[in-house]
Amino acid sequence: MTEFPHSLLHGYQSFKDDRYAREHVRYRSLAEDGQKPEVMIIACCDSRSAPETIFNAAPGEIFVVRNVANLVPPYEPDGAYDSTSAALEFAVQSLKVRHIVVLGHGRCGGISAVLHQAAEPLSPGDFIGKWMKLLGPAASEIEAAGPMSDAERQTALERASIRHSIANLRTFPCVSILEDRNRLSLHGAWFDIAHGELWTMNPATGDFSKAM
């Protein structure tokens, strides 16, 4: 299997003939002048929840970083490789975004893996297992909340993880300083894949309600 995926080539041709043809001036401007997005979105790498699609974003409109379960690690300048922290640093310090949105979604596989822990790691490196340990505090919060159905527990942990990721964002000095100066705002959102509904987080209570 050495050929480039045909579905991607067909998709590219459609993009080139349609969207690029309509927005070629914008693309050329972005190439010459650089990007200046006001919004950063930290989202899951799940193929069903692409932020650019959900928000119908134009090229250059949002700066997106995606990882398993849309998690933000705490600030730890320990010399380890961390792509999410690197993207955050770039977005805040270089691009000077005005908003950071942590975007979770329903039926998240990473969240489900935490709730139904497998007996064996997927590989000797257990990269997912180590990454998902970031959800420990959120999982403890859900366990302490009392009895729930499996579906309720899944949704509750998906939303609790958003709250904890926002708390971790505030451990980064570049984030907390700018937020205190009202130059940066943090937001939480959750997307229901089945119904196409967006739920946004109340910053005061941490509760979620339908956006529209």
Residues 6+ apart with CB under 8 A from 171: 74, 75
Token reading at 108:
């998240």
Task: Please state the rounded mean pLDDT for residues 55-70.
Answer: 97
CA 64 to chain centre: 7
pLDDT band, very low/low/confident/very high, at 58 (cuts 50, 70, 90): very high
- Is residue 189 over pLDDT 70? yes
How far is Cα 124 from Cα 200, in angstroms, rounded to an integer?
Answer: 38
Every domain of the chain and the residues it spans: 1-34, 35-210
CB 163 within 8 A of CB 186: no
CATH 2.102.10.10 fits 35-210, yes or no: no
The b/e string for 148-158 (b: 16+ C-beta within 10 A; e otherwise) is eeeeebbbbbb
Token reading at 42:
């930290």
Mean pLDDT, the chain, whole residue set: 95
- Position 118 scores a pLDDT of 65
- Name the phi and psi angles at 46, rounded to 5: -55, 135
Token reading at 204:
């005061």
Task: Please state the rounded mean pLDDT for residues 80-88.
Answer: 94
Residue 5 is given by DSSP the state P
Beta strand 197-201 with 185-192: parallel, antiparallel or unpaired? Answer: antiparallel
Residues 6+ apart with CB under 8 A from 91: 40, 63, 65, 97, 100
Q: Where do runs of H (alpha helix) occur along 61-149? A: 83-89, 109-115, 127-132, 136-143
pLDDT tens digits along 132-145 = 999 999 998 898 88
pLDDT tens digits along 148-183 = 999 999 999 999 999 999 999 999 999 999 999 999
- Position 53 scores a pLDDT of 97
The sign of the dihedral angle between the CA atoms of 102, 107, 109, 112 is positive
How far is Cα 110 from Cα 131, in angstroms, rounded to an integer?
Answer: 10
- Is residue 114 over pLDDT 80? yes
Residue 23 is given by DSSP the state H
Q: Indicate the pTM of the whole model.
A: 0.95
| Alpha-carbon distances, residue 106 vs 9, 70, 137 (angstroms) | 30, 12, 20
Token reading at 175:
């984030």
